[in-house]
A = this chain, B = another copy of it.
Amino acid sequence: MTDLSFDDSPRLPAGFRCASIHCGIKPSGGDLALFASDIPGAAAGVFTKSLVPGAPVVVGRELIRPGCLQAVVVNSGVSNVGTGTDGILRARRMGVAAARELGIAPELVLMSSTGVIGVPLPVERIEGAMPELVAELQHDPMRGAEGIMTTDTYPKAISLAVGSGALTLVAKGSGMIEPNMATMLCYVMTDAALEPSELDAVLRRVVDETLNMVSVDTDTSTSDTCVAIANGRRGPVPRAVFESALGAALTRMAEMLARDGEGASRLLRVTVRRAADDGEARLIAKSLVNSPLVKTMVHGGDPNVGRILMAVGKCIDCRVDPARLVATISGVTVFGGGGLTDFDESKVRTLLGMDCVDLGVELGLGEGEAQAWGCDLTSGYITENAAYYSS
């Protein structure tokens, strides 16, 4: 995957356009976005596993079933969650409004909402703004990315070549981010031709190893959605080629989302190897990226290695042998042979101060591997979230 390179300026695949405008849900900034293909495409999606899913997730699960979509309309500011049957109605109206303006069937438009929970979606405002939104459709994916931001510090879009066409991702993240689907909103567009079932299988497998391994704060959103549309404009690509490109793109996006977690000052990347199996490797990797004491250690730059042991040790459903455990901080072995190594503390301090900190754990038990992405825990996270509702 590593030889796949991203475009310097993200572009949209053939046949796709996007738009974002301010329609007045938020006090300022883009709050309504649209991603649309000029023809229907194969589609697949994964959604939050939350037991209190937002209305757009409930409706989206229905819409994705036939495996065909042409557009996604997204608002930020209000998430349309905890809004009962009235919320379902408003979600549908939002999709219908976009479909009408695009001149396509309503079942081809999926909708997403992100923002405050429990507030009625101001759907009249969205309906009123639809002509303006569709008129804005153009070719820069950053425009769409701007329209779906909440607490992100910058808009996120990436693209790369796949076969003779392109693969583009637009996403938002920041807080209330830990898997169980993915996390966040992420739209995958490609002009490659794939069968819906093929797209679905590839998307699920890749999301599971990328977006599902990102955690900013252990809190699973009620609105998580990752939807892919393949309009086939550039013809078929071998499944393996598409899967490699999607893997590289979602890995990169996972890192961007983790690094831009609320209040984060560093990316925390955890690699677990030689675990008893992949499932246990995933649990241990997640335990490390989620531990407040590991996250504050990374923030403070203090090599308190015991916290790595602690975070491994608390995975009580996994197999761990402390005598075989080897732990590294950005390549430096800090624990092994049952005890702390005689590592160079000032060097490790410097490494902990870098923009990306790599923690590695080898269990010495089997072939299980996993990678997870998170960020440090800072006062910025507290400040941002102690007052999010009022802002």
**A293 touching B385 by the CB < 8 A rule?**
yes
**A387 touching B300 by the CB < 8 A rule?**
yes
**A311 touching B117 by the CB < 8 A rule?**
no
> For chain A residues 300-327, which have a beta carbon within 8 Å of chain B?
300-307, 309-316, 318, 320, 322-323, 325
**A51 touching B313 by the CB < 8 A rule?**
yes
Interface residue from B83, B297, B314, B340 paired with A220 (Cβ < 8 Å): B314
A53 close to B (CB within 8 Å): yes
CB distance from A112 to the nearest CB of B (A): 16
**B117 touching A300 by the CB < 8 A rule?**
no
Q: Which B-chain residue is minimally distant from A379 (CB atoms)?
A: B379
Interface residue from B118, B291, B313 paired with A306 (Cβ < 8 Å): B118
CB distance from A232 to the nearest CB of B (A): 35
**B387 touching A302 by the CB < 8 A rule?**
yes
Residues of chain B contacted by A313 (CB below 8 angstroms): 48, 50-53, 220, 222
A378 close to B (CB within 8 Å): yes
**Given A81-B309, A118-B340, A176-B310: A300 touches B219 (CB 8 Å cut-off):** no
Interface residue from B118, B314, B381 paired with A335 (Cβ < 8 Å): B118
**B219 touching A293 by the CB < 8 A rule?**
yes
**B219 touching A314 by the CB < 8 A rule?**
yes
Residues of chain B contacted by A387 (CB below 8 angstroms): 300, 302
**B386 touching A299 by the CB < 8 A rule?**
yes
Q: With A and B bound together, what is the CA distance between A81 and B314 in angstroms?
A: 14
Q: With A and B bound together, what is the CA distance between A238 and B337 in angstroms?
A: 50
Q: Which residues of A contact B (CB under 8 A)?
A: 48-53, 79, 81-86, 116-119, 175-176, 178, 180, 217-222, 290-293, 296-297, 299-307, 309-316, 318, 320, 322-323, 325, 335, 337-340, 377-379, 381-383, 385-390
